Homo-oligomer: A and B are copies of this chain.
Amino acid sequence: MRSIELIQPKHIIFGAGYAQDWANIVLAGKKQRVLLLSTHPLWAVLEKSIGNAREKGLELLCLDYSWRAEPDTEIFENLHRQSKDFGPQAIVAIGGGSVLDVGKLLAALSSGTQKPSDVFGKNLLDSRDNLLICVPTTAGTGSEVSPNAILFDLRDGEKKGIISPWLIPDTALIDPEMTFSLPPKLTAETGMDALCHCIEAYTNKYAHPAVDLYALKGIEYVYKNLKTAVKEGNNIEARSAMALASMYGGLCLGPVNTSAVHALSYGLAGKYHFSHGLANAVLLPAVMLFNMEADLEKNARIALAMGLPDKGDLRATARSGIKAIQELSRDCGIPQSLSSLGVKREDLPQLADMAMNVKRLLNNNPRELEWKDALSIYQSIL
C-alpha cells in the first residue's frame, strides 16, 4: 500500500439545525472579531444567529457575496480589501461552493502580504492564523472539507485553482436543512458534481484505499438519494445523505483529486458559462465510458456500490453502472447533450485545446487522454 497524506478539518459537525451554531464555535475558539461571508437569500435565515452573536459580544463584519458566476479576481480583491481593513480573528463562510471558496481565501490572505495572483497553484500559501468555519448550503462542492478554492483570473481569462492545506477549514458545520431551499436544478447539478468527485477519485491513477472508502460511500449516497433530493426538497433523509456525499467527495479532493471530467469541464464553464456542476454532469458518463477499460474491476465496483446487481461479467457490470448514472442524470433534469445547451460543433476543437491545458487533472486520469480523445468525447455528447 503506497503512502498517503490525509488533511481534513479536525472538527466536523453534522446535523439538522446546527448551522446556526457558528457563533458558539467562534466563542469556544476564544475569538472576538468575526467576518461573516454569506449570500443574498441567506441573510434572512441567518438573522437570528447574527443577533445571538452580537448579544454574546462578538464584533461582526457581514460581507455579501451574491454574484451568480464563479468568483473572479476583481470581486475577490474588493472583498479582500474590506476584510484586511477589519482584521478578522475568525471567518465564517455560509453558502455554496463560491462563497466557501472566497471565504477560505479571505481567511488565508487576511494577514500577511500575499495576493491571489501570488498563490495560484499548489502549496503556495504561507499560512493562516485565524479560525475558519465553513457552512455549506449546497451538497456538491465539498469545499467545506477540501484544500481547494477556484478563482477566475481576469488577467488572462482562465479559471485557476489554489490548493493548500491552509484552505482546509478548522470546522465544517454541515447542516442538511440548509439545503432544503436549494432549487431542483441546483440540487441536481451540485449533486452530480459530488458524484464526479467520488468517481474521479475512485478511478484515479493515484487512488488509495483510505480514500476509496469515502469515494464508494459518496457514490452510494448520491445514487440512492439524489433523485429524491431533487423531487422532494424537504426530505431530510435524502438531504442528509447528499450532505454526507458532498463531504465524502470533498475528502477525496485533497489526497487524490479529480481527473478528466473536471479537466474537460473547464472550457464549458469558461467559454459557455455552464455551471460547474452542470459541465461535469454532462461529461461524466462519456468520460467514464472512455476510462472504463483502464480498470474494469473498479468500474464494476462502482455499480455494486450503487446497489446494482453483479452481472457476472466485469465489463457488463461496469457498463450497467454508467448507464444507471446517465439515467439518474436525465431523471434529475440534467440535459444530456452539449448542443441542447448551445455548444456549437465548430467550437469543439477549442474546447479540446482548453482541456489539454488542465494538465494537473489530466495527469490523474486512469487512461491517457490526448487532444483527439477529448475531441471525440465532446463529439459523442454533442
Contact = CB atoms under 8 A, between A and B. Distances in A.
Given A16-B3, A209-B244, A168 B10 contact: yes
B9 A10 contact: yes
A2 to B, nearest CB: 7
Complex copy number for this chain: 2
Given A210-B14, A213-B213, A244-B210, A237 B9 contact: no
Contacts of A236: 1
A285 B209 CA distance: 28
Contact of A13 (B3, B217, B240): B3
A119 interface: no
B3 A7 contact: no
A241 interface: yes
Interface residues of A, number: 32
A170 B176 CA distance: 28
A232 to B, nearest CB: 16
Interface string A315-335: 000000000000000000000
A8 interface: yes
B10 A14 contact: no
Interface in A1-56: 1-18
A176 B2 CA distance: 11
Contact of A1 (B5, B214, B241): B241
B16 A5 contact: no
Given A209-B244, A210-B244, A213-B213, A6 B12 contact: yes
Nearest to A127: B30
Nearest to A213: B217
**Residue of A7, A170, A241 contacting most chain B CB atoms (<10 Å):** A7
A302 B30 CA distance: 43
B7 A10 contact: yes
Given A213-B213, A217-B213, A14 B4 contact: yes
A17 B2 CA distance: 11
A300 B13 CA distance: 29
A181 B16 CA distance: 47
A8 B5 contact: no
B6 A14 contact: yes
Nearest to A13: B5
**Residue of A5, A6, A9, A176 contacting most chain B CB atoms (<10 Å):** A6
Interface string A341-373: 000000000000000000000000000000000
25 contacts: A1-B14, A1-B236, A1-B237, A1-B240, A1-B241, A1-B244, A3-B16, A3-B17, A3-B18, A4-B13, A4-B14, A4-B15, A5-B11, A5-B12, A6-B12, A6-B13, A6-B14, A7-B10, A8-B10, A9-B10, A10-B168, A10-B170, A210-B244, A213-B213, A213-B214
Interface of A: 1-18, 165, 168, 170, 176, 209-210, 213-214, 217, 236-237, 240-241, 244
